[in-house]
Amino acid sequence: MLSGRRPRDKTRMNETTRHTPVPDSVRTASLGSLFLTFLKIGSTAFGGFMALISVVQNYVVERRKLISHEEMLDGVSLATILPGPVAVNVVAYVGYRMRGWLGALVSAGAVILPSFLLLVCLSYAYFRFGQMPAVGRFFMGFIPAVTGIILVAAWNMGKKTIKRPTEAVITAAAFGLLIGLGGFVITVAIIGASGLAGWLMFRGKAPANPAPAKSKQISTEAVPGARRPRSNGVLAMLLTAPSLWSLNLTAAGKLLVTFGGMSLLLFGGGYVFIPLIQQIVVDDYGWVSRQEFIDAIALGQVTPGPILISAAFIGYKVSGLLGAAAATVGIFTPPAVVMIVSSHFLDRIRQSAAIQAGLRGIRSAVIGMIAASALMVGKTAPIGLVALFIFVASVIALLRFKVETALIIPVAGVAGLVFY
């Protein structure tokens, strides 16, 4: 009896190791716990998509250890080359890794909810009272803190990822290219080149993991489906043409279809999206004026979460609260679905030694890209001793005293209100 049980226990242990880099008890975190965790993250993650990713890294990987460090980097790498908002796609990926589709829905919804509610309130105030200068001063205060948060995230990831000089070279090259050239094409080129470099440098050194059990993976026939949403994006773009007005849809329905179609065509981060969105919502449909669009982007910057929450402002102008909700669902949901489906494909191929070697190179490049984003965010901060003090204090608080970002960012914002 006893000897017969040991092989089964060993098999079960191997399967656990195969599928879950972190303990099963952590994987089964309740949906309520996921909701509260990402609600807290979404309430404090000011400063753009990389700031949000850095806060997620701090909470999910460093503090609560809900997923492994490698999984987080793989999620960031995948989200970078897929359409839609990178940060929300990463959050959906994290939720899916722990609790499947429902976990993805709960996590993404929770991280967006605070910024959505805040932007709806700001939209109401904007259309009733006009512009609000105090919001800008708050923004000036937390930008130096956000710079420190992103830099610390890059440092913590780098300590665990960069083990050899060759990996450091990949990180430095990615940093330099993104700072010097930038843009979505360069980002994709960095991911591709670092993957190739990793394969060339580490293919004989990265051990292959056992193939995953079929019961927890999609079939190979389903893998091509991960690309179908991209082709469907072309169809979705057609739905955003003026012929949409001939359809018997409500204003909220038009917003949902329009932003859903655009979301599958937007690559490269929130700021890259702005020209296309402006062309459609300002020039083609006239939903908002050019000045209102600029103000929508500004409000998206001073609220926590992704900049594309600005869609809620436009939706609110067109159809009130229902319009804000429709635009928000449209801009975030389709890319999140593409992200999750694509992660199945990643799970199937990541078990080979060649893919693992390539991922080592990509992870190193992602560290450099995160560090570069810290510098780019820092350039937007006001110059002076106050900004320098906020930056240094934030870094020390994170590295030395392990203070939560939920405390750092609001304090920095209040400092901005006081000193600016």
**What residue type is assigned to position 354 of the chain?**
A
Domain positions in the chain are 30-209+228-419
For 155-186, b/e burial (b = at least 16 CB within 10 A) is bbbbeebbeeebbbebbbbbbebbbeebeeee
Residue with tokens 């709806």: 120
Count CB-CB contacts under 10 A for residue 6. 9
Distance between CA 125 and CA 299 in Å, rounded? 12
Asked whether the predicted pLDDT for residue 262 surpasses 90, the reply is no
CA dihedral (107, 112, 115, 121) positive or negative: negative
Count CB-CB contacts under 10 A for residue 420. 16
Q: Are 131 and 295 in contact (CB under 8 A)?
A: yes
Q: 355 CB contacts (<8 Å, ≥6 apart)?
A: 349
Number of residues assigned to the chain: 420
Q: Can you give the pLDDT at residue 272? A: 55
Note the pTM of the prediction, 2 decimals: 0.69
Half-sphere exposure of 305 (CA within 13 A, CB side): 32
Q: 5 by DSSP, 3-state: which?
A: helix
Q: Are 306 and 119 in contact (CB under 8 A)?
A: no
Distance between CA 292 and CA 283 in Å, rounded? 13
Q: 204 by DSSP, 3-state: which?
A: coil
User: Over the stretch 272-318, which tens digit does the pLDDT of each residue have?
Assistant: 566 678 888 988 899 998 878 877 876 777 788 787 898 999 999 99
Q: 248 by DSSP, 3-state: which?
A: coil
User: Over the stretch 76-127, which tens digit does the pLDDT of each residue have?
Assistant: 988 888 888 888 999 999 999 988 899 999 999 999 999 999 999 999 988 8
Asked whether the predicted pLDDT for residue 217 surpasses 50, the reply is no
pLDDT bin (cut points 50, 70, 90) of residue 38 is very high
